[in-house]
Amino acid sequence: MVDLTSEAAKVLKETLEETGLSPQKALRLSFQDSLWTLDVDTPRERDRVIRYQDAAVIIIAPSVEAAAGSAIIDLQDKAGSIDLVLRRRISG
């Protein structure tokens, strides 16, 4: 299962609001050619939607969630800039 930290959720929600997108849109997590991406999209019937303060933030298709396994989307401070990262959890 993919989770989202509250800090990352807040930044993504603010970013979506600033763009003026329709509230029905959110960021779809995708995996293609060994790359994880986020693209603006509308949820589909079987998608899981991660919400923050009643706003859709991340959309995940079942196949993408299976590929991600146990993971978390978080923020990482790198040399003064903030990056969004997907970290896989390693069970002990």
Residues 12-32 have pLDDT tens digits of 999 999 999 888 899 999 998
CA distances 61 to 4, 7, 9, 70, 92, Å, are 15, 23, 18, 14, 27
What pTM value is reported for the model?
A: 0.88
Give the model confidence (pLDDT) of 49-59 as tens digits.
999 999 999 99
| CATH class in words for 2-88 | mainly beta
Contact 78, 85 (CB under 8 A): no
Under DSSP, is residue 42 helix (H, G, I), strand (E, B) or coil?
coil
Domain boundaries, the chain: 2-88
